[in-house]
Chain A
Amino acid sequence: DVKVTQSSRYLVKRTGEKVFLECVQDMDHENMFWYRQDPGLGLRLIYFSYDVKMKEKGDIPEGYSVSREKKERFSLILESASTNQTSMYLCASSLSGVFGDEQFFGPGTRLTVL
């Protein structure tokens, strides 16, 4: 079974802190994604990566950056956390595909910024 793990299930940070969310997948998938999920807004794509050291902006990249130094690991970075970044963050991975392959999701990190 594909496994996608996220470093924390719950995280509480203060405004202005630098926050790292880590995601690791164990199935040698090329693509990795970071979403945030808010009530009534569904899943919104923050960033994705289709190869090591490659990254592409999604729909809401402002205030976030990412890092992919190894194929299995994709990190989301909040450079200076703000209260409006309080949300559920979901990581996903998929095999390389032109038409959109099945994405496998981690359990999510619920981030609260005070």
Chain B
Amino acid sequence: AQSVTQPDIHITVSEGASLELRCNYSYGATPYLFWYVQSPGQGLQLLLKYFSGDTLVQGIKGFEAEFKRSQSSFNLRKPSVHWSDAAEYFCAVGARGSQGNLIFGKGTKLSVKP
């Protein structure tokens, strides 16, 4: 069965520091991968997605993610964090034959120190 693991429940970084959020997935073939962000009290917004091709994907708000097949990972990065990036981040994987279903990780909450 497909699964997604986000090992870090909560991360705190200083404003201006770099950020990396980890995501590992379990899937037999090449998955479709997504990162979403959720601000407090809001729905989820797509940051970026990987379907095929270049393994380094650029997204909105200065985020990028790299697909590493050998490590079954799809880590999210940002070179310089802004206070407005404080939110919860979810990694998700799309599975073959799932009728559009996505499997979500449990999320990583990001706090930003001034």
Contact residues on A (Cβ < 8 Å of other chain), bracket: 20 to 34
Q: Smallest CB–CB gap between A4 and chain B, Å?
A: 7
Query: With A and B bound together, what is the CA distance between A96 and B99 in angstroms?
Result: 7
CB distance from A68 to the nearest CB of B (A): 14
State how many angstroms separate the Cβ of B93 from the closest Cβ of chain A.
7
Q: Which of A33, A100, A105 interacts with B32 by CB under 8 Å?
A: A100
Q: Does A28 contact B (CB under 8 A)?
A: no
B107 to chain A: closest residue by CB: A42
Chain B residues within an 8 Å CB radius of A12: none
Smallest Cβ distance from B39 to chain A, in angstroms?
10
Q: Which of A41, A48, A56, A100 has the most CB of B within 10 A?
A: A100
Judge whether B42 and A48 touch: CB under 8 Å: no
Nearest residue (CB) in A for B4 is A42
B101 near A105 (CB under 8 angstroms)? no
Q: Which of B42, B98, B106, B107 contacts A100 (CB 8 A)?
A: B98
> Top 4 A-B pairs ranked by shortest CB distance?
A100-B94, A42-B106, A105-B43, A31-B100
13 further A-B pairs in the complex, CB-CB below 8 A; given A43-B104, A108-B42:
A4-B43, A33-B101, A40-B9, A42-B90, A42-B106, A56-B99, A99-B95, A100-B31, A100-B32, A100-B102, A101-B100, A103-B44, A103-B102
